[in-house]
Structure 1
Amino acid sequence: MQLGDCLFDSQRGLLTHQVTQEQWFLPRAELQVLRLLIANHDKVVAKHVLGSADAEHLALSDSSVTRAVFMLRSFLGPAHEHMIETIKGKGYRLRLESQSRKRIKKPSTPVWVSVFISRLFGCQHRRIKLGVGLLILAIIPLVVMQWMGQFSNHSTYTEPFSKQVITLESGQKVMLISYAKSKTNNTSLLALTQRLAQGIKLCESAPWKQVYLSLSHDKQVFNITMKGDKLGQSIVRNLKLTDFRQNKVFISDQWLAEVSLCE
């Protein structure tokens, strides 16, 4: 299926950008969200529906759905990211390009314009009247299109909870972007972000440019998506950490040693 400059293979879960030739095998959250948006295109789909559980997976948290939408928009690129609209307080809607570029019907010359021209020039000046009428017909659509253009690419974005840039020994900069359902009671997310930042700082260099973080509503699942490039190819790595203990750790020294964040 064509989505802007991207081709989506739903069966393989593959999104291919036909301009940059980047390919992305969508992780579970992004794949589920995109499939549901396509199945209900041009309709508003609530967050809890986009994050619903299935036979093999638990339900996604609202923050995971938000992060998935952010990643999908990022891959679609600035020219087409507006295809996924945020409907405040309701959910998201996929607006297909064929629907978003409807032709604007040229309005006919208003009656008052015709009357004004007739009185101004008289009936004997039909050529002048016709010329002025055509000029108005040419100007009005341009004004209407310019006015509508101010809103056609407008989308409401969910702002990240926090952003942090860390610098590796090689001088490379990595941005950590955290998402949360609200701006309160995010002590655990902040602590995990700092802990992960400490682990990444140990790398002399790494292929990652952005790292997206979110904590599930029940604070039992910590989602990490790392995006960057290696040997000229775009790469994405997804990590999902679960901890059902009362005193949660998620990121331990042993985990940092085993997961190899630098690669």
Structure 2
Amino acid sequence: MLLGDCLFDRQRGLLTNQVSGEQWHLPRAELQVLSLLIDNQNKVVAKQILGAGDEEYSALSDSSVTRAVFMLRSFLGPLHEQMIETVKGKGYRLHIDKYVSESNQHTRFRELKANYNAMITYLFGQHHRVLKAWVGVLVLVLFVLVSVQWILAAQAVVHHSAPYSTHSITLDSGQKITFISYAKSKTNNTSLVTLSSRLARGFAQCKTSSWQQVYLSLSHDKQVFNITMRGEKLGQSLVRNLKLTDYRQQKSFVSDRWLTEVSLCE
């Protein structure tokens, strides 16, 4: 089953990102939560149902269900993480129909280009040069407009401005990890600096890590902390996107418990 850019093989419990090639054999909690959301797609499923136990496994706690949803969203990536919607006070809902068109944009572009080439070939073969020129221009304009729309959407999560700050740490193994922070303003970024330092201290506990660059940013209202980690393992490039939300007045985002659960080290 296709979920955004990822292909889900329920029988093997395998989630594969078809863009990066990254694969994830889902642990029991993530596999159970995702399977139940798919079985009830476009419907709200309560936490108690998502975490229900059976004769083989004990029930999952609410925090285990919440963490499973968090990990699944992280693997789906920023363009598709909202497929799993949080319905406050009720549970979670998996949107499938809403994202089918987005997942098939590349296919539509290829079909559009193929149709354009076929039309031009046909018109050229019939020697309708004037009609070919007008139709070619119209189809080409349509193709460019759709392509630009897709490119803008795909680049919405990419930072184009210069980083606000950059600093690095060196692990005991000699590996260097660089932390790159982005901010819309050069002032009032105390929270971002604090979070960057806290995350660096978490990485400093590792002997080795697959991650080499860590990109950080806070939303304009300071309620969402975005983390993108890039690295390499066994010769393959790795990318992991995390989005932490905290609506409290005194925000934490990165706690000691979170640092342990998110597995920064190898």
TM-score relative to the length of structure 2 = 0.47
Specify the structure having the higher radius of gyration (Cα): 1
TM-score relative to the length of structure 1 = 0.47
Q: Which one has more relative contact order, counting CA pairs under 8 Å at least 6 apart?
A: 1
